[in-house]
Each structure stands twice: as C-alpha cells, then as structure tokens.
Amino acid sequence: MTTATKTQTDKAGHAAHTKAADSQLGLPGEVQQPIKIVMLGAGSMFTPRLLRDLLQIPGLRGGEIALVDIDTSRLDTMNRLVQKLVGESGLTDWTVTASPDRRQVMAGARYLVNCIEVSGVECVGWDNDIPLKYGIDQCIGDTIGPGGLFKALRTVPVFLDVLRDIEELCPDAWVLNYTNPMSIMCLAAGRSSRVPVVGLCHSVQGTSHKLARDAGVDYAKMTWACAGINHLAWFTRLEHEGQDLYPVLMEKVSERAGDVYESDPVRYDMMMHFGAFITESSGHLSEYLPYYRKNPDLVKEYCRDGYRGGSRFYASNWPQWRSNADEEREAMVRGDKDMNWSRSWEYASWIIEAREKDAPYRIHGNVMNQQGNAGPLISNLMSDGCVEVACMIDRAGIHPTRYGKLPAQMAAICDWNMRMFDLAATACMEKSKEAAIHALMLDPLTAAILCPAQIKQMTLELFEAEKDHLPGYR
C-alpha cells in the first residue's frame, strides 16, 4: 500500500469509526446469510455487552450463538442471560446453545470470540505476591512482568489447542481475541497457526476519547494517528481542526498538578519526556517501564490508587470483581438489572458487520508486524513481532495499514517489551522454563530491580507454586 493510499484509507476509516462509535449507527446494507458465533469463556465480563452489540447490527439475518465455558455454573447463568437478551431484542431468528465442550459446537462457526481465563482466580495471588517478596510491585500484572508471563504460560497452550481445533472444525472462522496477555497470545498464534487472529483491546478508543476531554475539544473533530504495541501504542499525531493538541496538553500538565495531570500521572510524565501520549492507564503502563515502580519513593511520587498505580490493585480486587459480576448477571436474568445498553465501541460487532456487509471499517488491532513480503507495518520494530496498528476490515479479510517508522525513542520502549514477549511466546510454545527465565531477564521492570540470579530464583519459585496449573513445563 502506498503512502498516499494509506493516508486516504486511514482518513476514511477514521470517519467511519467516529460516526459508528459516537452515534451508534450501523453500516449500510444487509447481511447476506445467517452466521454462527462461538463465545469461548462465555462467563467472561465481555459476553453480555458483546452479544448485545451483535444483536444491534442492522440487517442481520440471525444465526446461532454458541456459549462455551468449562465452569458449568457460570455457563448456565450466561445461557439464561443470553436467551433473555435474544428474547428482549424481538429477533426470532437466533438460536442459543451452550456446552462445556468447545468441540461440540465449533463446527460451522464463522467467528470465535476468545475470552478464556485459565485457572480462574487461583493463581492471581501467587502472580503478585511472590514477585512482591523480591521487590517487584505490580498494579495489574496480567500482561507484562512476572504476573503477565505466568498468565501467558497458563493460557497460551490452551489457546493454541483452540486454534488447532479451529483448523480442523471451522477453518474459515476468524478469531477475535480479548484474552490477556494480548501481545503474547497473538504472537504465539501468529507464529504457530494459519487461523486469522486479531487481538482486540479498548485502550485506543478509551484513550482517544480521554484526550479529547482533557484537551477540551470535540472528539468528532479530532484527528489522530496511533501505533505501537498493545497497551504501549503512541498517539504520534493528535490534532483538532488542524491544530496540534500537544502544546495544549503540555501546558495543562506542566506544573505536574491539577485534575488533568492527576488523572494519569505516569502517562502524562511519559508524554512530557517522550513526546506522545500512550494508550494504557498509568498503573498498567508503569509495569511496562523501568522508571516508576523500582523503589517506594518513585511509587509514592508517580503512582496513585486504583488504575493509576495502586499496589496489588488487581490481585486484591479480582476475586471480588468476579463475584460481583456473577451476582450482577443473576440480577439481569431476574430482570432486576437493565440490559438495554446502546451499542458499544468494542470492536467485535463492528468487525462482524464490516465483513458480512463488505462495508470497510477501521479498527486498531493486534496483528503480526510482517504481512507477506511488503515489509513490517512498523518498520523499526521486530518484523516477526506483534504490533497494534490501524486495520481495515471488509469481506476479504483483516487488512493492517502500514504505519512506517515510529520516533526512535518510542520504538525503543516498544522494542524492549517485544524482546520480552518474544521469549515469553517461545516459553509458552515450547513449554520451556529456561525461555521463561530469559523472558523475565528482559522484562523492563523486573530487570530494573533484580539481578539475573534473583530473577532465576523468583521464576523457579513461581513455577513451583503454580505447578498444578503448568503441566508439561520442563
């Protein structure tokens, strides 16, 4: 794709994205045939909203929604909830099935939405507390660092089994992956399977709207470019009616005080020093970097509570969040809680609509950097890595757009994390403890705190604690 063509495509796609996400309008045309969508990990927080979005696609001809979850209690609740969603939609041409065995329902699927969580809440404490004993303070710890690595070691092998089932049972299906750790999941998939996989996150949508609010401008009149890796993509262009918004934002946070700065201290500090805003919240972002969590004084200076950097935030809250979600779903089934949501900015339903209507639509997706023989999408990042870039969707497929070269300082931060993901994916695919140890030796936060011998000791301690959830690792 030439630069001129890319620019035209991105502008058209951005206009479509803004119209769809803000006014909740569907794309023109009708879906030509019924579709089958399989929700893997149907007990996930994503399922109710994603399926409500699906049912709001105009011109959809119905089909089958297949729910899969090995937790039969959550599966039963979600089955009743989705049956209710379909019933309340007034659409009579949808059927809902449920099974704890994915192979029973995968045949003929056109889409598989992957929301699996391997091991439930059992390992969350170990993922956080063993590294904390060694001085590694995590906020979220599910995509990078020791917590992210061990979630990958548990989850990726299951995902690769799913992809093998897809190749056998529904080879024309697209996989829409919502499961973290996103980069490692998509990287392992891209290196080991021919199934079309795109990793979907809402950090680009959420951050672009946040930047409009913080700058005090109309989102619909804002233009931007964003590229990098998941949770570490950079808004390299940010304009409102032709005006660069970065001087406006720089002025608002120059004193490192006030509501705008306090809403995201780490992200705004990175913007001031590196030149662009990043897509993930301060707390999570601080885990991708060597700067902000390596001693208590820095944590106190730059990190705040909750998603802004709270210590042990995810590990302390995730079990209760799951329990609350279960109670909320039962309330929805009883009719005590409304499910009449507007169509959301989550990408899944827009991808399905764009493909089925052959109406191009732009998303930001996680895909392999090398696409065919045309060179990397981001030219100064590793070609066999996973990147997050603008992608156009139509009936012919998922078409990533070529970004070009990131500013050197931004590319270097992405590259550092990608080297960790590279070895983490190898560890998952080969079930190699050695590769896992090397992955954490290259993890920015871990390397800022521990020497190689300590990293090896900590990693082996994590393997021992979680051995029942890590079969086959050598």
pLDDT digits (tens, 9 = 90+) for 405-442: 999 999 999 999 999 999 999 999 999 999 999 999 99
Amino acid present at 416: W
Predicted local distance difference test score (pLDDT) of residue 25: 61
Q: Who has greater pLDDT, 26 or 205?
A: 205
Residue 7 has pLDDT above 70, yes or no: no
The residue-averaged pLDDT of 98-113 equals 98
User: Half-sphere exposure of 451 toward its Cβ, with a 13 Å CA cutoff?
Assistant: 1
CA distance 167 to 53: 27
Per the structure block, which two tokens stand in for 212? 């409009």
pLDDT digits (tens, 9 = 90+) for 265-297: 999 999 999 999 999 999 999 999 999 999 999
Among 10, 61, 11, 9, smallest CA distance to 33 is for 61
Does the pTM surpass 0.85? The reply is yes
Q: Which is catalytic among the residues 202, 209, 399, 469?
A: 202
Predicted local distance difference test score (pLDDT) of residue 286: 98
For residues 428 and 469, is the Cβ–Cβ distance under 8 A? no
The residue-averaged pLDDT of 85-96 equals 95
Predicted local distance difference test score (pLDDT) of residue 111: 98
Q: Residue 275 contacts by C-beta under 8 Å, 6 or more apart in sequence?
A: 246, 407, 409, 410
Range from 19-28, 107-116, 220-229, 375-384 carrying the lowest mean pLDDT: 19-28
Other CB atoms within 10 Å distance of the CB of residue 63: 20
Predicted confidence band at 1 (pLDDT cuts at 50, 70, 90)?
Answer: very low
For residues 393 and 354, is the Cβ–Cβ distance under 8 A? yes
| pLDDT > 90 in the chain, percent | 91
pLDDT digits (tens, 9 = 90+) for 378-411: 999 999 999 999 999 999 999 999 999 999 999 9
CA distance 216 to 165: 48
Predicted confidence band at 4 (pLDDT cuts at 50, 70, 90)?
Answer: very low
Helices (H), ranges, 335-471? 347-357, 408-430, 433-441, 444-449, 452-465
CA distance 243 to 323: 46
- 364 carries an active-site annotation: no
Predicted local distance difference test score (pLDDT) of residue 8: 29
The per-residue pLDDT of the chain, averaged, comes to 94
Predicted local distance difference test score (pLDDT) of residue 372: 87
Run of H or E residues at 103: none
* Cα distances (Å, whole numbers) of residue 378 to 77, 263, 274, 412: 43, 30, 18, 12
Taken in order of first residue, the domains within the chain and their CATH numbers are 24-122+142-201+335-400 (3.90.1820.10)
Predicted local distance difference test score (pLDDT) of residue 263: 98
* Cα distances (Å, whole numbers) of residue 153 to 146, 161, 185: 11, 13, 10
For residues 145 and 443, is the Cβ–Cβ distance under 8 A? yes
pLDDT digits (tens, 9 = 90+) for 138-157: 999 999 999 999 999 999 99
Helices (H), ranges, 335-375? 347-357
pLDDT digits (tens, 9 = 90+) for 23-61: 346 788 888 899 999 999 999 999 999 999 999 999 988
Per the structure block, which two tokens stand in for 461? 């301690």
Region of residue 257 (phi > 0: left; psi between -120 and 50: alpha; otherwise: beta): beta
Cβ burial of 165 (10 Å; 0-12, 13-18, 19+) is: middle
For residues 219 and 18, is the Cβ–Cβ distance under 8 A? yes
